[in-house]
Amino acid sequence: MPGFAATLNGTRYVFADLKALLACASPLRSGDQLAGIAAETDEQRVAAKMALADLPLRHFLDDALIPYEEDEVTRLIADSHDAAAFAPVAHLTVGEFRDWLLSYQADTGALAKLAPGLTPEMVAAVSKLMRNQDLIAVAAKCRVITGFRTTLGLPGRLASRLQPNHPTDDAEGIAAALLDGLLFGIGDAVIGINPATDSVPDGIRLLDMLETIRQRFEIPTQSCVLAHVTTSLQMMQRGAPVDLVFQSIAGTEAANRGFGIDLAILREAQDAALGLKRGTVGSNVMYFETGQGSALSANAHHGVDQQTLEVRAYAVARAFKPLLVNTVVGFIGPEYLFDAKQIIRAGLEDHCCGKLLGLPMGVDVCYTNHAEADQDDMDSLMTLLGTAGVNFLIAVPGADDVMLNYQSLSFHDVLGLRHLLKLRPAPEFEAWLGRMGMLSEDGRLPPPAADSAALRRLISYE
């Protein structure tokens, strides 16, 4: 394919191919610099955005970043494209598409109908032309509703994942964190444990413990042990109470091979989980996590920028109708997102792009301790995402995951955001909180008191 060019301040900038154009149009981030594909100057970045703005959206249907014959993710994207859904915007350039997304015509209904017609590359491209406020405004208009035992994504709701990890998978330690989270109204999206080992017996033990607690207190939620998909398959084969199948995914076939997966094994796991028929209000049984930089860290990026590859991962997720998808935005480290500015931008990009593709997006608002970020920065991203209509957030005791050794949000952070933005938990979970005596007379969930009836009821379990 011919190259692309734009002239700025008398200098003509030429970009050899679509990969180079997209990489140079991306906001600055350390991962693209590490890969040697980032724009060398701010002026070159602006020129790339100018050239990208004039590119017809149709171009992405004919110019594959990774060849169709070499990559099953590319084949999935091409073969599942809905031309009829794409038709309303097929005549637009990338810049015109941005303008349309910000218009009154692009309302919730229109965006939902459009989603099957958009490819990840189109969505990544238009996000590169957006300011942070644009990403928030567009995402806030997207509504993606899913269900298993709770209904997620409804207007006026903010769900949460309760993450009671423990460095040795100790049952008492996990139970203490679980109790703490429930008292703050956390856990309506999922109670999800990252196991310290990927052991089938240990995974079954943890699932049995969560299932016992869930049934004992009749908690309307879903549990998940975030083991490898093949481990989850073995646990289901042994009769374990698997609600959701988890897997980390990426945007290239080679990166997914690095995770030990392909599309076929994901389909097998989805079919197995659907066969258990454990859901009550819906049958979305998959849970996916992603993060910018995963393909680069596996040396499987094909010279494509990390944000575009992240959005390609969402095409993989979309094919399996998941209950939950979240980007673990700052988890990989400063080699890929150097500081708070890059982490905040990436979180807003990931959420908006996933929503445009029709995914129930959540975010793990997080950072590692060697990144140039702190908890104030996470407060900012959390609040921006709440305004943008994020489906769910992840919370851990004290904002400090003692098993994975990174910083996230605390239980009271999510509770505070719900109060600030007048958002409520999933309806089924909210009703349970009411039955447990955990809601005040005005229907809000106060911070737990040491002598609360709910606390006495929960700790009475043996």
> What are the pLDDT digits (tens) for 230-268?
999 999 999 999 999 999 999 999 999 999 999 999 999
Total Cβ atoms within 10 A of residue 197: 12
Average pLDDT of the residues in 197-224: 96
Q: Per the structure block, which two tokens stand in for 455?
A: 């606390």
pLDDT in tens, 57-87: 999 999 999 999 999 999 999 999 999 999 9
| Tokens 């301790």 sit on residue | 369
**What's the alpha-carbon Rg for the chain, to the nearest Å?**
22
Q: Tens digits of per-residue pLDDT, 92-102?
A: 999 999 999 99
Of 377, 308, 306, whose CA–CA distance to 336 is shortest?
306
> What's this model's pTM, rounded to 2 decimal places?
0.95
Q: Which residue reads 């673990």 in tokens?
A: 328
In the predicted model, what is the mean pLDDT of the chain?
Answer: 95
Residue with tokens 């890969």: 35
Q: Residue 223 in contact with residue 255, Cβ under 8 Å?
A: no
pLDDT at 153 over 80: yes
Residue with tokens 């790339």: 48
The answer to whether residues 347 and 327 touch, using CB atoms and an 8 Å cutoff, is yes
Position 462 confidence tier, pLDDT thresholds 50, 70, 90: very low
What would the pLDDT profile of 320-363 be if each residue is shown by its tens digit? 999 999 999 999 899 999 999 999 999 999 999 999 999 999 99
Q: CA angle 426-429-433, nearest 5°? A: 130
Mean pLDDT of 214-232: 97
